[in-house]
Amino acid sequence: MSKTKNKSLRIGLVGCGVVGGGVAEALLSKDKPWNNVPDSPNLELVRVADINWPASAKLGNGIVVPKSLRTSSIDDIISDPTIDTVIELIGGTGIAQDVIIRAIKAGKNVVTANKALLAKHGKKLFLLAGRAKREIAFEAAVAGGIPILSAIRAGLSANKIETIYGILNGTTNFILTRMTETGCTFSSALLEAQRLGFAEADPTLDIQGYDAAHKIQLLTALALGINVDMKNIPVRGIQDVSDIDISYAKQLGCKIKLIASAKITRAGIEIEVAPTLISNAHQLASVNNEINAVFVEGNMVGQQIFVGKGAGRYPTASAVISDCLELASGGGRKYVDCMNNAKSMLTVPKEKYVSEFYLRISASDKPGVLGTVTGVLGKEGISIKSCVQLESNEVGAPVPIALMTHNTSLSKIEAVKKRIDELSVIKAKTVFFSVIK
Amino acid sequence: MSKTKNKSLRIGLVGCGVVGGGVAEALLSKDKPWNNVPDSPNLELVRVADINWPASAKLGNGIVVPKSLRTSSIDDIISDPTIDTVIELIGGTGIAQDVIIRAIKAGKNVVTANKALLAKHGKKLFLLAGRAKREIAFEAAVAGGIPILSAIRAGLSANKIETIYGILNGTTNFILTRMTETGCTFSSALLEAQRLGFAEADPTLDIQGYDAAHKIQLLTALALGINVDMKNIPVRGIQDVSDIDISYAKQLGCKIKLIASAKITRAGIEIEVAPTLISNAHQLASVNNEINAVFVEGNMVGQQIFVGKGAGRYPTASAVISDCLELASGGGRKYVDCMNNAKSMLTVPKEKYVSEFYLRISASDKPGVLGTVTGVLGKEGISIKSCVQLESNEVGAPVPIALMTHNTSLSKIEAVKKRIDELSVIKAKTVFFSVIK
């Protein structure tokens, strides 16, 4: 047992919006569950910076940020020598980056939920923190309230982890769930998600898979010890998932989920974000709505699954505060040490990325179309596991052909897609998804 | 960030059987995943006590416990002042208790997987450790490789937890899964579990629910902060679950699982181990075979689910080693502080324990039986949600009547069971299970 006395933190919070407000509320509440045990560290909120006072001062449960704590100047936090910990919750890669760099240079530890910033510019920031012997803690950046980074750094610390994947974006999972449950179109599910606050006004980062890509980049560095540049992660979002795909997946006993995955193979690191068909028997298939889930495979522990809310005010604030408590008491492998220790590895070439695939082809309703299309697959040496040509909704409309292949390579699938899309009978771009059994 | 330098541990291992052997193998292996990060603590295995040398010396992957480390005397570990950490993996409540007490008195920290001992005698042991400022770490005692205690003490440390439940025993989950998947009887599923090593030769502790009760006792103290004496935990095992129940549950769109649960309510702590009908839509319904799963509900984070292997050599060893790494580096709320801080609370009286219930009644195949039986429920004011009288297998054999009630109290169900079992038409004791929707 470490003999260190738990120390208290003096915290400066930058950003008092959705998540920041939740953090402030918990830190200012009289009922702090973490204080139930003797000698627990004291988390003292010393200053809160936001540009939206007094509106941001009103938190939940009747708690208000006291005037004496409010500031609109980040300098008030950076230049306060009594503040040892800066929580950055403004998001984005501009000012946020500046705040983190200045905080570290001023000798402070940082807690952040900023996945986009860390996935894109983390290498530089973690190096800076490592040299300054400071910590950048980011439990809240990946899968919200699920303590997956804590599990990797502490609970599963005995394990070599070579596979990690999951549902890391709540917005897309909500949309896919609604499409599955109601049979509605992508755009009406997106509208519902926006109305309920599960999707932002501009949902591009979520829908196109980049948010999930940021998270799998961070998980891959922390859990697998492999640093992959964002530009080397193939990202396919859910923008092309149609109600036809959902309905065909149902017939196959599958669900469609946006899966972010990373696996160390002999051919390199296999990492991607992609819409994926998952058998209903798989535990990820029943993770619905805005819920996230992470699969981790450790060499000793086998397969572990963590399920919970991946976003939202209080779940994310829960992760931020657990990081603060850990900073105060020590414990777990340090984030910065792990991130700086991550090695480079070549990504698996497309020829060696092998999976079953689902394809949906939109063709003219003409005799011989099915033969032409399947002929292209045959020439490429791809064998077909099952195939359905569906009826078109109206006369003259393109007919969707949905098929599942046996194992083949991504390079062959891309080649086939290209060749099919060049055929004169093809009415819309061919869509393909990966498959997990 | 704690400024403590990670320290190394000098470890004495007591018990080199299934789990102990897995721990020794990992500690003696050249490839230690936890050493991949700079400044990680060194876990040095100094001595191993076992009564079964040389057989126990042979570990997996060609690793052998060196002769210089082997001893058959526990004293060699307790009296070695250079050993700072004792891992107790002999099990049982006799010698194991003695080892832990002597280790603490000798100023050593303890890591153990011994749920029976800690659930029964933990209060005394944790007090002793608290006074000596020593730690008793027991991640491996609950849900094997699932880092649930780490999650409670660190990852979810910001949360007030008032509900925790799950599948905490792999043997019974394996048996129930086989019965569900093959339609076989309880006894043939048990035989299969024993053949595959998922059930011990004497499976009483598992089958009758006591192993799960030990684990929920520990979880309730650690997560809910409530100390419940083992004798106050109502425990019903799976010994009375028949293939008729499994088949009827299927018709209802449910699975039967052995659920250990604890919840703080206004009327006190509601804690039990009981066979339970769970809707197929519930995530626990798809946790099969020997896998364990724990549900935790935190006030900030909402519902979290942790799924993984709950027993076995390497998963349990993974938990033991994560505890050792944490002892070396500090972190998380201390086990001993949390356990000593747990308060007493009255258990909910049976009148206030409200649930839907499933009952199976075995009656003579005579006219009017169904009316007689349901009449008893009516008199007690219990309304019936659904009811099936099944055909008997052979002429003269008792007919099973399976029924689901609306919400009612446990006291009423027990009263009804008693009254039904006294009827002359009843051929075997009535069985009842709880229901989770």
Query: What's chain A's Rg over C-alpha atoms?
Result: 24
Burial state string for B198-216 with b = 16 or more CB within 10 A and e = fewer than 16: bbeeebebbbbbbbbbbbb
Binary contact (B31, A151; C-beta < 8 A): no
CA A336 to chain centre: 20
Out of B33, B38, B160, name the one closest to residue A33 (CB). Answer: B160
State the amino acid at position B147 in one-letter form. Answer: P
pLDDT one digit per residue (tens) for chain A, 437 residues: 334 456 899 999 999 999 999 999 999 999 999 998 888 899 999 999 999 999 999 999 999 999 999 999 999 999 999 999 999 999 999 999 999 999 999 999 999 999 999 999 999 999 999 999 999 999 999 999 999 999 999 999 999 999 999 999 999 999 999 999 999 999 999 999 999 988 888 999 999 999 999 999 999 999 999 999 999 999 999 999 999 999 999 988 999 999 999 999 999 999 999 999 999 888 899 999 999 999 999 999 999 999 999 999 999 999 999 999 999 988 788 999 999 999 999 999 999 999 999 999 999 888 888 899 999 999 999 999 988 887 766 777 888 999 999 999 999 999 999 999 999 999 899 999 999 87
* Element housing B275 (H / E): strand B268-279
Which burial class, exposed, middle or buried, applies to B22 when counting CB atoms under 10 A from its CB (0-12, 13-18, 19+)? buried
Strand partners, B389: B401
Q: In whole angstroms, what is the distance from residue A154 CA to residue A147 CA?
A: 10
Which residues in chain B (120-139) have CB-CB distances under 8 A to chain A? Answer: 133-135, 139
**pLDDT score, position A304:** 97
Q: In whole angstroms, what is the distance from residue B410 CA to residue A339 CA?
A: 53
Q: In whole angstroms, what is the distance from residue B115 CA to residue A308 CA?
A: 27
Size of interface A-B (CB pairs under 8 A): 241
- Comparing CA positions, the residue from B97, B76, B75, B100 lying closest to residue B87 is B100
CA B197 to chain centre: 18
Residue from A278, A333, A340 to probe the interface with B (highest B Cβ count within 10 Å): A333
Please give the residue of chain A at the shortest CA–CA distance from B341: A37
What six digits make up the tokens of A256? 């469609």
Q: In whole angstroms, what is the distance from residue B292 CA to residue A155 CA?
A: 16
Binary contact (A302, B151; C-beta < 8 A): no
- A155 inside 8 A of chain B by CB: yes
Could you give all domains of chain A from N- to C-terminal order, each with its CATH number? 158-309 (3.30.360.10), 351-436 (3.30.70.260)
Please give the residue of chain A at the shortest CA–CA distance from B146: A304
Q: In whole angstroms, what is the distance from residue A121 CA to residue B423 CA?
A: 75
**pLDDT score, position B6:** 61
Query: Nearest C-alpha of chain A: how many angstroms from B213?
Result: 23
DSSP state of A398: P
pLDDT one digit per residue (tens) for chain B, 437 residues: 334 456 899 999 999 999 999 999 999 999 999 998 888 899 999 999 999 999 999 999 999 999 999 999 999 999 999 999 999 999 999 999 999 999 999 999 999 999 999 999 999 999 999 999 999 999 999 999 999 999 999 999 999 999 999 999 999 999 999 999 999 999 999 999 999 988 888 999 999 999 999 999 999 999 999 999 999 999 999 999 999 999 999 988 999 999 999 999 999 999 999 999 999 888 899 999 999 999 999 999 999 999 999 999 999 999 999 999 999 988 788 999 999 999 999 999 999 999 999 999 999 888 888 899 999 999 999 999 988 887 766 777 888 999 999 999 999 999 999 999 999 999 899 999 999 87
Strand partners, B265: B268
Query: Nearest C-alpha of chain A: how many angstroms from B417?
Result: 36
Contact list, B327 vs chain A (CB under 8 Å): 1-2
- Start-end of H helices in B330-422: 335-341, 369-379, 410-422
Binary contact (A26, B300; C-beta < 8 A): yes
* Element housing B117 (H / E): helix B115-131
**pLDDT score, position A2:** 39
Binary contact (A304, B299; C-beta < 8 A): no
Q: Residue B367: CB partners within 8 Å, gap ≥ 6?
A: none
- B279 inside 8 A of chain A by CB: no
The end-to-end CA distance of chain A, in Å, is 43
Contact (CB, 8 A) for A280 and A434 = no
Which burial class, exposed, middle or buried, applies to A3 when counting CB atoms under 10 A from its CB (0-12, 13-18, 19+)? exposed
Q: In whole angstroms, what is the distance from residue B288 CA to residue A175 CA?
A: 28
Q: In whole angstroms, what is the distance from residue A219 CA to residue A227 CA?
A: 10
Query: Please, how many CA atoms are within 13 Å of residue B66, restricted to the half-sphere of its CB?
Result: 8
Q: What is the DSSP string of A402-424?
A: EEEE-SEEHHHHHHHHHHHHHST
Residues making up chain A, counted from first to last? 437
Helix axis angle, A410-422 to A369-379, nearest 10°: 140
Helix (H, G, I), strand (E, B) or coil at B369: helix
- A302 inside 8 A of chain B by CB: yes
> Count of H helices and E strands in chain B?
14, 19
Q: In whole angstroms, what is the distance from residue B40 CA to residue B210 CA?
A: 38
Beta-strand (E) ranges in B39-196? 43-49, 70-71, 85-88, 109-112, 136-137, 161-167
Active-site residue, selected from the candidate residues B108, B120, B215, B257: B215
Out of B4, B321, B328, name the one closest to residue A158 (CB). Answer: B321
Binary contact (A37, B338; C-beta < 8 A): yes
**pLDDT score, position B3:** 41
pLDDT in tens, B22-36: 999 999 999 999 998
Residue from A40, A292, A300 to probe the interface with B (highest B Cβ count within 10 Å): A300
Residue B387 backbone dihedrals phi, psi, to 5 degrees: -150, 135
What six digits make up the tokens of A204? 């591009």
Q: In whole angstroms, what is the distance from residue A385 CA to residue A435 CA?
A: 12
Query: Nearest C-alpha of chain B: how many angstroms from A312?
Result: 9
Helix (H, G, I), strand (E, B) or coil at A375: helix
DSSP state of B154: I
Binary contact (B318, A306; C-beta < 8 A): no
Query: Please, how many CA atoms are within 13 Å of residue B136, restricted to the half-sphere of its CB?
Result: 38
- B305 inside 8 A of chain A by CB: yes
- Comparing CA positions, the residue from B308, B414, B134 lying closest to residue A155 is B308
Which residues in chain B (317-336) have CB-CB distances under 8 A to chain A? Answer: 317-322, 325-334
Residue from B63, B136, B157, B264 to probe the interface with A (highest A Cβ count within 10 Å): B157
Helix (H, G, I), strand (E, B) or coil at B358: strand
Out of B154, B303, B306, name the one closest to residue A331 (CB). Answer: B154
Out of A298, A322, A327, name the one closest to residue B156 (CB). Answer: A322
**pLDDT score, position B331:** 75
Helix (H, G, I), strand (E, B) or coil at A210: helix
Q: Residue B87's CB: how many other CB atoms inside 10 A?
A: 32
Binary contact (B147, A134; C-beta < 8 A): no
What six digits make up the tokens of A150? 């804590």
Please give the residue of chain B at the shortest CA–CA distance from A3: B330
What six digits make up the tokens of A378? 């045959």
Which residues in chain B (372-431) have CB-CB distances under 8 A to chain A? Answer: none
Binary contact (B151, A151; C-beta < 8 A): yes
Angle at A134 between CA A132 and CA A139, to 5 degrees: 145
Contact (CB, 8 A) for A36 and A69 = no
- B34 inside 8 A of chain A by CB: yes
Binary contact (A34, B157; C-beta < 8 A): yes
**pLDDT score, position B427:** 87
**pLDDT score, position B5:** 53
What six digits make up the tokens of B252? 């209802």
Query: Nearest C-alpha of chain B: how many angstroms from A412?
Result: 35
Q: In whole angstroms, what is the distance from residue A426 CA to residue B282 CA?
A: 42
**pLDDT score, position A213:** 98
Please give the residue of chain A at the shortest CA–CA distance from B283: A286
Query: What's chain B's Rg over C-alpha atoms?
Result: 24
> Count of H helices and E strands in chain A?
14, 19
Q: In whole angstroms, what is the distance from residue B22 CA to residue B17 CA?
A: 8
- Comparing CA positions, the residue from A297, A84, A214, A267 lying closest to residue B309 is A297
* Diameter of chain A measured on Cα atoms: 79
Residues making up chain B, counted from first to last? 437
Query: Nearest C-alpha of chain B: how many angstroms from A187?
Result: 26
Q: In whole angstroms, what is the distance from residue B320 CA to residue B85 CA?
A: 12
Query: Nearest C-alpha of chain A: how many angstroms from B286?
Result: 7
